[in-house]
Structure 1
Amino acid sequence: MTHLLSPLTLGAIELPNRVIMAPMTRSRADDAGVIGEITATYYTQRAGAGLMISEGIFPSAMGKGYVRTPGLATDAQAAAWRRVTDAVHAQGGKIYAQIMHTGRISDPSFLPGSATPIAPSAVQPKGASYTDEGMKPFVTPRALETAEIPGIIDEYAQATERAFAAGFDGVELHAASGYLPEQFLSSGTNRRTDRYGGSIENRLRFTLEALGAMAAVRGPGRVGIKIAPEMGFNDITDESPVATYTELVRAISPMGLSYLHVAVMDPTKDYHERLRPLFAGPYLAGAGFSQESAEALLARGGADAVVFGSSFISNPDLPERFRRRAPLAAPDRATFYTPGPKGYIDYPALGAV
């Protein structure tokens, strides 16, 4: 048996293989952040993954950053996710909910009362939001008051509670892609002078408190975290990224988390080699892996499991294709974020008509 197809204990759950489906925004929810039956079909088709990590789900109305993204901020949103988790579990699958607060990477049109997006500091990001009315330049966010931050942390806890009530096997804190936790982590977006800014220790505080609040719901063995050092997405910068992420991983290592998920977008960076030895728990490596490069990484102990993204979109039975060494279908990138079934649930499995 190959390394990719061998079982793995991940925190509090057992996985049948080490082929992890990445969290990927697909924009198929309605305007209220409620998913439909089509989403249950999408995840059920991919339930052969060792673990599926859901698309980013906003924990509160102020955390929404994109058109047609789903939430876990209301009971109706959670009830819709229950249809997904029940269907996935009926197929023997495992699924975590990725909790994603986009912070400054939003637009007032997505937020209650056309509110200004929030962030650690009032630093306007370069770029624009995709909306159904076209691209809108990012606005300057409102800096959170120190007294507001415990309420934001509590929103992560409440979303975690709803995730478990909805039947998810665990939760992942999205601390990458330039969203709120990474905005606190990074010196380019965090200009604060209170206990949440300045030193690396202070800039880690928001992420550590969010993880702690999420872990308090049902234990750290069902909570993971995703980071992506030097990804640069959404205009995120840090003056000392190696030091920042080294200290972050050292800080979370004793927490007993389900896993650390590290996406390295630049293959010239050595973050897997640097961070893997610092983390005591299961280490999930992404991105850009092929079956061959993933097997090689696992064989040399460079990770415990490997995360696959777009290949899971177009190959719903990806672990089986790996088992058979079958060719992979290419994804249609034009349909990644479009509503409806095309490019979502119409990719066939091996042998399907």
Structure 2
Amino acid sequence: MHNISITQTKNNKQKPKDEALVFGRQFTDHMFLMDYKEGEGWYDARIVPYQPLEMDPAAMIFHYGQTVFEGLKAYRTKDDTIQLFRPEENVKRLNRSNARMCIPEVDEDIALEAIKTLVDLDRDWVPHKEGTSLYIRPFVIATEPYLGVSASKTYTFMIILSPVGAYYDAGIDPVKIAVENDYIRAVKGGTGEAKTAGNYAGSMIAQENVAKKGYAQVLWLDGHEKKYIEEVGSMNVFFKIDGKVITPHLSGSILPGVTRKSVIQLLMDWGIEVQERPILLSEVLTAHANGLLEEAFGSGTAAVISPIGELFYNETSYVINNHQTGALSKRVYDTLTGIQYGTIVDPHDWIVKVNPK
């Protein structure tokens, strides 16, 4: 056990009703913090009442964007067990992002213990309704007050929690997406494989533009030739073509998703051929023209699986599987959510229980 001090709130907030939950608007009673100072390392791991931060206006996070974050969830099972899905993968990825953004590595054991301790303390905030969960946001920010362009010498690692509603109200509904021609999300050697704020800020203009045209997400192409598929929105993407499942390989500009990794493992368990390789947009369109594009879906923490019902490119719409959720997409979704909520046996020890009662 690591020394994490706990100061409990004296003023518990009113918890929202499960049916009124939205994403990322309400926050629990407590938060975790730990500080870093060059020469001293990480210190003062603590859980305190959720509260605003007091920061110097010159803190480097505000000026140079030196920050990383993660996203995972806690789930309540039918017997009121609270459990996490592959949290060690999120912590490992946090440190990979840290390395890319010149942020000191966080002790992974401490980070995991902090997540479990905080979730356990605020376990009453984990909603009960089917499909709901407690979203967990670990993040690190640069705090040194300095306007020089260099890596900060001080940081704060924090974790906050937010109860969230079901992503889909009634079944998993296919979305319409549009290929992005004008902007790029990332290039090899850039920050695309790190989960850092600037990646998301830079992608918002494209998302705003397609939303005005009625599309839910952007399909990003590679930044060099603009021919190869990379991600869909902030999710990894899969295509089922002629019985095989193809997903872009981790080329250095694509975020290595925890859900992506889990989907690939399940498909392999089921004897379905999975190819991780460069995939041309033209290849997908040709497969569509030949009647071989059977399904497409995105994968990520928020939606788990988001089926794609329509692809828009160069003023042409390509309907996929008649705008219906494919059998494989649904099987993957049902299996992953079943494991997460404890209704399906976990074959790979992906679940971590939080202080079982």
Q: TM-score, normalised by structure 2?
A: 0.27
Structure with the largest fraction of strand: 2
If the length of structure 1 is used for normalisation, what is the TM-score?
A: 0.27
Larger Rg: 2
